[in-house]
Amino acid sequence: SDTHDRLDRIEKAVSIFNKKGIDLLLHAGDFVSPFAVKRFNDLQTKLIGVYGNNDGDKLLLSKVAAGLGFEIYRSPYEFRIGNRKGVLMHEPLFLSSLRDYDLLVYGHTHNLDIRGGVPLVINPGDASGWLARATFVILDIDSMQTEIFNL
């Protein structure tokens, strides 16, 4: 989430994602510029994201993402991973009312936030490092266990 055009951080994160062999990358918004999406081109898995409040040219962001085989949606976006149902959003709207899901992923605040239970709530933090330490989270969808990474 919240990569905010930090190309060096995007490249470092992609390298870690590839080494870890993740099956899916969820991005909770604020790529910011289409050229930033291009830095995910070495990602060896699918990316699903939502637009954030700082994502300006949504049409071009979508075109660039689609050219890489990625998908970016309006927030909130409902998804399924195996038997898990989740919502991906940028701003943490209505978190307390979304109880029929296994997983809620949000961004926007730039603050790492993991709340156990059902649903599991994750804000992976600020991958750009602009407002806080640069972090992301990897989730094992079967065990619902999280691992925090610093960039």
What's the angle, vertex CA 100, arms to CA 110 and CA 96, rounded to 5? Answer: 45
State the CB neighbour count (10 A cutoff) for residue 95: 17
Please list the ranges in the chain whose pLDDT falls under 70: none
Which pTM value belongs to this model?
0.96
Q: Residue 130 has what pLDDT?
A: 86
Q: Under the phi-then-psi rule, with left for phi > 0, alpha for psi from -120 to 50, and beta for the rest, what region is 24?
A: beta
Which DSSP string corresponds to 123-139?
E--BTT-SSS-BEEEEE
Going by the DSSP 8-state scheme, the letter that residue 74 receives in this structure is: P
The CA-atom distances, in angstroms, between 141 and each of 70, 95, 100, 117 are 20, 20, 17, 14
Q: What pLDDT shows up at residue 127?
A: 96
What domains, with CATH codes, occur in the chain?
7-150 (3.60.21.10)
pLDDT at 131: 84
Q: Which pLDDT belongs to residue 80?
A: 97
pLDDT of 15 reads 98
